[in-house]
Amino acid sequence: MATDTEATPIEESVRAALAKVQDPEINRPITELGMVKSVAVDAAGAAHVAVWLTVSGCPMRETITNRVRDAVSAVPGISSVEVELDVMSAEQRQELASTLRGGQAEKEIPFAKPGSLTRVYAVASGKGGVGKSSVTVNLAAALADQGLKVAVVDADIYGHSVPRMLGAEGRPTQVENMIMPPSANGVKVISIGMFTPGNAPVVWRGPMLHRALQQFLADVYWGDLDILLLDLPPGTGDIAISVAQLIPNAEILLVTTPQQAAAEVAERAGTIALQTHQTIVGVIENMSGMPCPHCGEMVDVFGTGGGQTVADALTRATGAKIPVLGNIPIDVRLRQGGDEGKPVVLSDPDSPAGSALRAIANKLASRQRGLSGLSLGLTPKNKF
């Protein structure tokens, strides 16, 4: 068999095929990441490919093996494929981490850098229980379904629930000081729940919450994202303040229910933007009403008008027009999708809740395409 310095034409074809194989966690070609250890093809067409794994317990080893085998098997002249897995040395992992950071310093939050094209949305609420996490997860899944690169940070440290609702069952992989986030339904996600045993509670004070959020933003390898959604805890506590400090350009999506009691609290949560100098993109009214299963007439279980009340109050407070981005009806399929890890925007996109959430996602996608210059005739940044 020829050595790498004396590659035969068929071995060159194998390497070209491997250049199309992406690492399932990093989403970049394994050749670009230095993961191809060796390639050899004997006279009978039997290929032997050795691949470096980042860590010995890599959860994606089987996926990588299958992707390599499929790609090489498709090369004309290859009769069989053997894939050997090895583990990178500490020096190789350091080199890989440096490659992923693009030579930049560690602990840098890429989304806070000037010129970042990633839209960062902090999904906030005044009260808990208004469906903020359901909205976050479904918006993320709908945006990813449109071909955008999307990620979610489960910043609700005490009440983390995003992995279950998104259907993310994988565990993060650590490469040196970098964390590779798992993904589900095309969305990358990180949550403190991925690092705690079972359903153990997180009992932390402010400084530790800030540090956890900082690590999620700086230590996780997110790649080139179009949109990053942060599922914030309710209220105006430590995490909301930390987001404003760590990502000053983060914009606020405010979730409320129609009832006036919730709207008043949501208004208080939104006015934090006056102190942090953040942009409020709009208000999302969840649980707007329930279609009667018998006659189809809308039943206003939690009253009406809360979303518009919040939007009007924030418009007066900020001096900028704050729109209601959408009204999401009560839909049992939305709850079921969250319990089963199947966002309703994908499992039942034409349902009342699925349609409303996809319409909101379309507005956010239009804003992102306007920022990236991918479409013409859109309204300026921060406007609809």
List the domain boundaries for the chain: 4-88, 110-372
Is 128 marked within a binding site?
Answer: yes
Nearest-angstrom CA–CA distance, 82 and 144: 34
Is 167 marked within a binding site?
Answer: no
CATH for the stretch 4-88: 3.30.300.130
Is 237 marked within a binding site?
Answer: no
Q: Which range scores top for mean pLDDT: 33-42, 190-199, 258-267, 364-373?
A: 33-42
Q: How far is CA 198 from CA 48, 170, 201, 338, 340, in A?
A: 41, 14, 9, 19, 18
Q: Are 359 and 372 a contacting pair, CB within 8 Å?
A: no
Is 383 marked within a binding site?
Answer: no
pLDDT at residue 289 above 70? yes
Is 126 marked within a binding site?
Answer: yes
Q: 379 pLDDT band (50/70/90 cuts)?
A: very low
* DSSP 8-class letter at 22: B
Is 282 marked within a binding site?
Answer: no
Average pLDDT over residues 42-53: 92
Backbone angles phi, psi at 310, to 5 degrees: -65, -45
Beta-strand (E) ranges in the chain?
36-41, 46-53, 80-87, 119-125, 150-154, 173-175, 178-180, 183-184, 187-191, 227-231, 251-256, 280-286, 290-291, 298-299, 324-328
The C-alpha R_g of the chain, in whole angstroms, comes to 23
pLDDT at residue 175 above 80? no
Q: 135 pLDDT band (50/70/90 cuts)?
A: very high
pLDDT at residue 212 above 80? yes
Is 161 marked within a binding site?
Answer: no
- What pLDDT is stored for residue 206 in this prediction? 67
- What pLDDT is stored for residue 165 in this prediction? 94
Is 132 marked within a binding site?
Answer: yes
- Return the CATH architecture of domain 110-372: 3-Layer(aba) Sandwich (3.40)
- What pLDDT is stored for residue 274 in this prediction? 81
- What pLDDT is stored for residue 170 in this prediction? 79
- What pLDDT is stored for residue 2 in this prediction? 41
Average pLDDT over residues 301-312: 88
Nearest-angstrom CA–CA distance, 336 and 350: 15
Lowest mean pLDDT among 221-235, 267-281, 344-358: 267-281
